[in-house]
Amino acid sequence: MPVKGATVCIWLERNMTQSASRVKFNIRGRIFETFASTLKAVSDSKLGRLTPEHESYDGNNQEYFFDRDPDLFNVILNLLVTGNLHVPRQVCGALLREELSFWEIGNGNVSKCCWRQYFQHEDDIIVVFCIWNIEGLRTELYVSDFITHHYPDIHLSGNDKLTTLILTDPVPALFALETGCLVFFMVEWVLGLAVCPRKRDYLTSWTHVVSFVLVFAMLMNFLMEFFKSVLAENEVARWLYFIFKAISMVRLLLFIRVARRFSALRVLLLAIKNSLLELLLMAITFCLGMVFFATLIFYAEITNVESFSNIFISMWWAIITMTTVGYGDIHPSSVAGYIVGVFCALSGLLLLAMPVAIIASNFSEYYSQNNFYQRYLRLQKENRNKETCEMNKIHPHKEAKFDGLSWPAD
């Protein structure tokens, strides 16, 4: 029994000594020391495979010598100890990626606070956004149908707008396109309701409610095309026809649904949402400037009987001038009016430039962060795929597991 107890003590002492053993590195004259257990965590890397027989080992000093950047090596040691990759501000992300590749260490644990520093110098980040589901196709058809239907050359004949809209026939090819869209939208909406497990949520969703209203309006327009004589004689029917035509404009709002597939559009909406205070301030300031310059131009052109007949016309001129549109339908003709116009245009430039710069700055920040996040997700996915492949190579007859799902390995 005493011999057995002494043997156990010797075994424990030996293992404690081995676990507490340290490895020394000489990186361009700077000495680094770490535990051997730290290097064993990355046994498949160059650091984990170091042995005294390695060519870089100096037996006299009992250290490994490498002609590498010591600052980057310190970052790598911190990665092995903490499990997270933190990039110092003075370190180039591309250079750090090369160093990780030299030591054969994965780079999938980049800390969120260092995404910008790690990815900012990478030139091959190309974010491609595509619409793969039927919702995107439906939105595209809504928009294209709206544009073609309201193009002025879609009718064979006609006089003014009312006569053209009511009494003339559309081009057969475009009418067939609209009919096909109507059938597609009806079938899509009905099938969506039929296969949806939560029909209450489906019917109360604003996108599906808008889709139903649009389909109903398109159906009414389709039926009314065969009763043009009734439209010409009945004023109520004409107004209903006009209302159903106007409802078709709502289909443009469905373009917002693309935000669920386009992360860049979500970033744009987020930037606008976070800039609502600046937009409100711009609107209030713009209204004050509009009233101010409208009053000035009204009294500056008080002797001009042909233009600026009332304050509302003056407000219209102030809006057009401050936004630098300049229709030219109304313009001053006196020296005082010209002076007011100059200051009105300059103030409009200043009022619109400041909040637009703030919104652009927010969008640039969010868009840049979104690019780094997309790059990080792709990097995580590549690392998971690599780990799965390595697991299949080590255990080819076992099941590979991923995110709680399992399938037989090939």
Count of structural domains, the chain: 3
Q: Is residue 162 in some structural domain?
A: yes
Last residue of a domain, one of 88, 119, 150: 119
How many angstroms separate the CA atoms of 240 and 80, rounded?
72
Q: Is residue 124 in some structural domain?
A: no
Spell out the long-range contacts of 232-239 with Cβ–Cβ below 8 A and sequence spacing 24 or more: 232/166, 232/167, 238/166
Rounded-to-10 torsion of CA 41, 46, 47, 53: 120
Clarify whether residues 160 and 85 are in a common domain. no
Amino acid (1-letter code) at residue 144: S
Q: Is residue 245 in some structural domain?
A: yes
* Phi, psi values for residue 34, rounded to 5°: -150, 165
CATH number for position 321: 1.10.287.70
Q: Which residues pair with 399 in a beta bridge?
A: 408
Angle at which helix 276-300 crosses helix 311-322, to 10 degrees, equals 130
Under a CB-based contact definition with an 8 Å cutoff, are residues 261 and 137 in contact? Answer: no
Clarify whether residues 141 and 257 are in a common domain. yes
Residue 108 is encoded by which pair of tokens? 């999938």
Rounded-to-10 torsion of CA 130, 178, 221, 244: 30
Range of the structural domain that residue 102 is part of: 22-119
Burial class (CB in 10 A: 0-12, 13-18, 19+), 267: buried
Identify which of 270, 240, 275 has the alpha carbon closest to the alpha carbon of residue 354: 275
How many angstroms separate the CA atoms of 259 and 45, rounded?
42
User: CB neighbours of 322 closer than 8 A, spacing ≥ 6?
Assistant: 286, 289, 290, 293, 344, 345, 347, 348, 351, 352
Which run of H or of E encompasses 33?
Answer: strand 30-35
* Phi, psi values for residue 52, rounded to 5°: -60, -20
Last residue of a domain, one of 119, 152, 183: 119
Under a CB-based contact definition with an 8 Å cutoff, are residues 42 and 105 in contact? Answer: yes
Last residue of a domain, one of 73, 90, 119: 119
Residue 375's SS3 state is helix
Digit-by-digit pLDDT tens for the chain (410 residues) are 444 444 433 433 444 344 458 888 888 888 988 888 888 777 778 888 888 888 888 888 888 888 888 888 888 888 888 877 777 777 777 777 788 888 888 766 677 677 666 666 554 444 333 433 444 444 444 444 444 444 444 333 444 666 666 666 777 888 888 888 788 888 888 898 899 888 888 888 877 888 888 888 888 888 887 877 777 777 788 888 888 888 877 766 666 666 566 777 778 778 888 888 888 888 899 999 999 999 999 999 988 878 888 889 999 999 999 988 888 888 898 999 999 999 999 999 888 887 788 888 888 888 888 888 888 888 888 878 777 776 666 665 554 444 444 444 44
How many angstroms separate the CA atoms of 345 and 351, rounded?
10
Q: Which residues pair with 33 in a beta bridge?
A: 24
* Phi, psi values for residue 229, rounded to 5°: -65, -35
CATH number for position 74: 3.30.710.10
